[in-house]
Amino acid sequence: MYHLTPVRTSAVAQLRTEIEQKTTFTLNRCELSIFETHKTAENIRLTFGGFTITSMMRGRKVIHTNDSSFSYLPGETLMVPTNAEMVIDFPDANHSSPSQCTALIIEDAHLSKHLEYINDLWPRDTNQGSEWQLNPDFFFLQNDEQVATLSNQLVRLFSGNDPMKDILVDIKVKELVLAIMRLQHCGSIDQGIGSGHVNERFKAVVDYIRSNIRADINCRQLSKIAYMSKSVFYRMFTNEFGISPNKMVLKERVRYAKALMNNHATNIRSLCYEAGFSDPNYFSRVFKKIEGMTPSEYLAKNATNRQSS
């Protein structure tokens, strides 16, 4: 997984509270808070007064929603709509191993300006005619290299002394919002969310990749499925998802390999071929690039999770 770089936690003697102690850095129209918890706790309720992007830095939380509960782990990012309540457990936190996460709160009006700016400068290419949208009600939990990198950069900027940090933060927030919107479009395909969130032609392309995961797939084939020229398809697809069609093929092959691992498959060489790769070494390199860990490390993590569950 791609992890955020933890910052130094407070000394026990300096704690104002052992549960969700908050250190806040405030700029124009947005603020960043770093929360740390030093003891186990249950049913802690938090509400944020603006659209919030949280990222887990260390430890583990359990988040409760109306429908389910899930573990929130280092490197993952979670979106929280304005005034939405989070109900949180801290099953593992203690003085020697506290939990720590960030919360970037953006004023709703400022978020709207970011979206207007992105739509003006990088209009979304889509046959539906819809603009870039950030759906705050579309629950988002993701471990992603770009999001983790941007979150790390924002922590350094907020906590630093650069006199131009208001401007620099504004640029990084725009990048982060765009990255999350693109990930939402990928998620829309998985969730079956309808028109306006993802181009239906691109959905057909991804469906084709998944149905032919072991086939030799190239961009020309995919452009024909989308009924576009190769150059137009490449540009529009990359704008929509933030990755090229060829990288989407690799991402889907890794996704398929993970599904096999989650279903107890353990032979990495066999997994490689089953997922459409022809070289186990290349498979391992691609897997690590996308997941932030090697196939062997992913298998070890799965084994540990099964033992603890």
Q: What angle do CA 135, 31, 124 make, to 5 degrees?
A: 30
Architecture of domain 200-308: Orthogonal Bundle (1.10)
Q: What one-letter code names the amino acid at 270?
A: S
- Estimate the share of the chain in helix, then strand, then coil, as percent rounded to the nearest 5: 45, 20, 35
Residue 308: what pLDDT?
Answer: 57
Residue 216: what pLDDT?
Answer: 93
The model carries a pTM of 0.75
CATH 2.60.120.280 fits 12-191, yes or no: yes
Query: Rounded CA gap, 186 and 202, in Å?
Result: 10
Residue 194: what pLDDT?
Answer: 44
Residue 195: what pLDDT?
Answer: 41
DSSP state string for 141-174: EEE-HHHHHHHHHHHHHHHS--TTHHHHHHHHHH
How does pLDDT run across 129-155, given as a tens digit for each residue? 567 777 766 555 667 778 888 999 999
Residue 146: what pLDDT?
Answer: 83
- For the chain, list residues with pLDDT below 50: 128, 192-196
How does pLDDT run across 162-179, given as a tens digit for each residue? 999 999 999 999 888 888
Structure token digits, residue 109 = 């009006």
Residue 193: what pLDDT?
Answer: 45
Domain ranges, ordered by start, for the chain: 12-191, 200-308
Residue 110: what pLDDT?
Answer: 86
**209: nearest Cα among 199, 227, 221:** 221
